[in-house]
Amino acid sequence: MTKNKFRPSFFAIPWGVISVIFVVFPLILVFVYAFIGEDGNFTFENFAAVFGEISNLTLLLKTIGISLLTTVICLLIAYPTALILSSAPFNRYVVLALLFIIPMWMNFVLRVIAMRSLLYIFGINNGFFATMIGMVYDFLPFMLLPIYTVLTNMDKSYKEASFDLGANGFVTFFKVTLPLSFGGIMSGITMVFMPVFSAYAITGMLGDAKTNVLGGRINAFFSNSSTWGVGSALSFVLLIIVFLTMILSELLSRRAPKQKQTTKGGTTK
């Protein structure tokens, strides 16, 4: 019997090369440009321009608010929907879950254009309300999918044990179902909050001047070659916020209750 000449890590080389070219290298460029002035010398003026303008800080707070509101609305819609789809008798019809996930396979811009046309039919003009509808519509599947996956794979014996011990449906949900699905909730929050935080296409197509987000300001800076440094500094600040959000999400996910997995020998781990 011949041994396999390739280790599993060998097949990760293409992914590593692509990540270096299209992820690591652009981030390095952003970092370098953030500390380079118009004269080509090292400077902190770009960060001074970012934090010195009150409009940037106001836009940052507005972006955080829109991101949080979108995430909360998506969670309030996605969790009950996932709970229903994962329960009997709906769990036998996978196509019902696919109806919510299929929009993820469509082009992003096409979905926004379709939603804008639909909103015009109902007389909803561009603005904050239209922007929130577009945000929730576009990112709802990213919240629904991880929660639905966790609820579907949840060990039903935990709920049965809760009922056997005299707990009602309300207590079982808050003591068993909700804690065990916390990992899926955190994954959904991460998958929604971070993209919304940097998304500006939806606000550009469905919003107005009052719904502008930080991503649009960064795009405007990079559209002008003389403000690449300020745009890079603002992108660097945005990257730090996203990075801190990922760390917080990871810490909260680790504290979530874990389901015990039964092995063939009958023990748990």
**202: which 2 tokens?**
């939806």
Rounded Cα distance between 78 and 82, Å, is 6
**What digits encode the pLDDT tens for the residues 180-224?**
888 889 989 988 988 888 788 888 888 887 788 888 888 888 887
**What digits encode the pLDDT tens for the residues 62-89?**
888 999 999 999 999 999 999 888 887 7
- Give the pTM: 0.81
pLDDT at residue 52, rounded to an integer: 83
Domains of the chain listed by start with CATH number: 27-152+182-232 (1.10.3720.10)
**What is the three-state SS of 138-177?**
HHHHHHHHHHHHHHHHCCHHHHHHHHHCCCCHHHHHHHHH
Average pLDDT over all residues of the chain: 83
Share of the chain above pLDDT 90, in %: 13
Residue 262's SS3 state is: strand
Bridge partners (DSSP) of residue 268 are 262
